A and B are shown apart, each in its own frame.
Chain A
Amino acid sequence: GENVEQHPSTLSVQEGDSAVIKCTYSDSASNYFPWYKQELGKRPQLIIDIRSNVGEKKDQRIAVTLNKTAKHFSLHITETQPEDSAVYFCAASMGSGAGSYQLTFGKGTKLSVIP
């Protein structure tokens, strides 16, 4: 099955700086890569996603890049704010077959933005 590795496990940045979280996946058949944000005590919520036919996607201060050849993708947050403090999860899913039913998550990155 798919295996998703996520680094770092914890990340502290000063407010206004950028944060980068990296993930690698094992199955070359995976073609959908979402990022979820989980604030303390709350449910995970999708913040951005990318499909394998696209190399980069941006939404205001967040962006995701994908390198299919290297099988890795990254989340970039610019001009970080205290409300960006949360745990971020990357995930991967295949586009067809039984694997398309499942989303495999990384172990998460706890981001702390220091005011």
Chain B
Amino acid sequence: NAGVTQTPKFRVLKTGQSMTLLCAQDMNHEYMYWYRQDPGMGLRLIHYSVGEGTTAKGEVPDGYNVSRLKKQNFLLGLESAAPSQTSVYFCASRVPGANVLTFGAGSRLTVL
């Protein structure tokens, strides 16, 4: 039981490049989330999903896209990376009715 696994853990991109962050959970959780963490800004919600095939925008969705084709996976895509997207990205999941979020270990992304 690995919990929530994020890949990759580190990535350096050039401005304009694209990439996808993968979040996988083996706990059969319905809800999944992508947050970004910046110094002094706390955790800000980018997108979330309440079930397979559904996604919704969070607080800071611009510049990101997501997909939830399988219940266990939640993908975060950057189509054209910008330096402002340099951040640590956390994926999290939970079951409906249980508010506790289980976080992944984080993915540190640097955009040059």
Contact = CB atoms under 8 A, between A and B. Distances in A.
A97 interface: no
Nearest to B50: A101
Nearest to B100: A46
Interface of A: 1, 6, 9, 32, 34, 36, 42-46, 49, 89, 93, 101-108
Nearest to B41: A107
Nearest to B104: A43
Contacts of B41: 107
Interface residues of B, number: 22
B30 to A, nearest CB: 10
B50 to A, nearest CB: 6
Interface string B78-96: 0000000000001000000
B100 A44 contact: no
B104 to A, nearest CB: 7
A102 B31 CA distance: 10
Given A101-B48, A101-B56, A108-B42, A44 B103 contact: yes
A60 to B, nearest CB: 18
Contact of B105 (A34, A43, A106): A43
A108 to B, nearest CB: 5
Given A93-B99, A106-B42, A107-B42, A101 B106 contact: no
